Amino acid sequence: MSILSVVIPAYNEGAMLHKTANVVSTILEENNIDYEIVFVNDGSKDNTWEEIEIASKANPKVKGICFSRNFGKEGAVFAGLEFAHGDCCAVMDCDLQHPPETLVEMYKLWKQGFQVVEGVKATRGKESAIHKLFAKTFYKIISDATKIDMSRASDFKLLDRQVVDAFIALPERQVFFRALSSWVGFKTTYVEFDVQEREAGVSKWSFKSLFKYAINNITSFTVAPMQIVTGCGMFLFVFSIIFGIFSLVKYFSGKSLEGFTTVILLLLIIGSILMMSLGVIGFYISKIYEEVKMRPRYIVAKTTDDNNEK
């Protein structure tokens, strides 16, 4: 019988862990699906790890990896997928915002031969207007770059072993799971789900961290910002030629050139475009810098297997 591994990244989810482990295992058992649950404790500051150990003792199918510090969700998902042994692996959030019942649906689709089952958000859940606007812009850029509609994409997916192996073989340090799992290809289908309310704990995303996430993923997926900057430069060049000819004609026809304001304005516009371009180039250089350092994506401090061996 094939095994389904459920990878769950957890950061300060002590309040949710017990419930999540129970709900997921009950649903899978009820549907006669052989499973393992891999919790990845992403350097939580609360009792998440203790809760994982308790859950693992109560049910040996629950396993845990503990990072040495917080490495971020992407690293945690990656670690979970590397650790998982299943014939297919699902990734879901620890806060039950991804309904566990959908796992059964995903598993059935996998049985039918689909290698990637993407959870797409039927509704986006509660978000502020500004959050929605930023999310929309971000996904528009990413969708253009990947040629995949990402507007309703989520991290809730099920991947076949072959896809997992392709994903964990990717050499880049900064793995953007949501887009890369589509990028690797394979036979894909979609399941809609409604984003649930978070039951306990708080969302780890602040505006600042979301902004950083967006910049990071845009720069790792597309060079569109560079192209925009080049476009601006070309536009300004054409404009300056026309303006230059116009000024020269004016000069030679004996009219005096006035326009201190124009000069200041032009200087400011050109100056700020130059600065922005440098910033954009800077983002890409920092990306290269991060990648060439080749630091590990995460560091494991301990796993629940360690306890069994001792």
In the complex, least distance from residue 236 CB atom to ligand UDP, rounded to whole angstroms: 39
CB 220 within 8 A of CB 287: yes
- The DSSP bridge partners found for residue 194 are 123
Given a contact cutoff of 8 angstroms between Cβ atoms, the answer to whether 195 and 121 are in contact is yes
Closer to ligand UDP by CB, 28 or 92: give it: 92
**Long-range contacts, 55-60 (Cβ 8 Å, 24+):** 55/17, 55/18, 55/21, 56/304, 56/307, 59/21, 59/25
* 53 touches, from ligand UDP, Mg ion, none (C-beta below 5 to 8 Å by class): none
Helix (H) or strand (E) holding 132: helix 129-146
Using rule CB under 5 A, residue 13 touches Mg ion: no
> Which of 126/147 has CB closer to Mg ion?
126
Total binding residues toward ligand UDP, as defined by CB under 6 A: 16
Based on the shown chain and the rule CB under 5 A, indicate whether residue 51 belongs to the binding site for Mg ion.
no
H-type helices in 117-223, by residue range? 129-146, 161-168, 177-183, 207-221
Q: Which stretch binds Mg ion (CB under 5 A): 96-104, 131-139, 179-187, 291-299?
A: 96-104
97: contact with ligand UDP by CB under 6 A? yes
Identify the bridge partners of residue 193 per DSSP, sorted by sequence position. 121
User: Does 203 contact ligand UDP by CB under 6 A?
Assistant: yes
- Determine, following the binding rule CB under 5 A, whether residue 97 of this chain makes contact with Mg ion: yes
Rounded to whole angstroms, how far apart are CA atoms 94 and 90? Answer: 12
- Per CB under 5 A, 95 contacts Mg ion: yes
* Closest separation in Å from C-beta 146 to ligand UDP: 20
How far apart CA 242 and CA 289 sit, in angstroms, is 40
Nearest to 203 by CA among 121, 122, 131, 118: 131
Shortest approach of Mg ion to residue 2 CB, angstroms?
29
* Residue with smaller CB distance to Mg ion, 97 or 115: 97
The CA-CA-CA angle for residues 171, 84, 123, to 5°, reads: 85
Single residue of 79, 84, 89, 94 touching ligand UDP by CB under 6 A: 94
Q: Is 20 in the site for Mg ion (CB under 5 A)?
A: no
The residues that touch Mg ion, with contacts defined as CB under 5 A, are 93, 95, 97
The residues that touch ligand UDP, with contacts defined as CB under 6 A, are 9-11, 13, 42, 70, 72-73, 76, 93-95, 97, 203-205
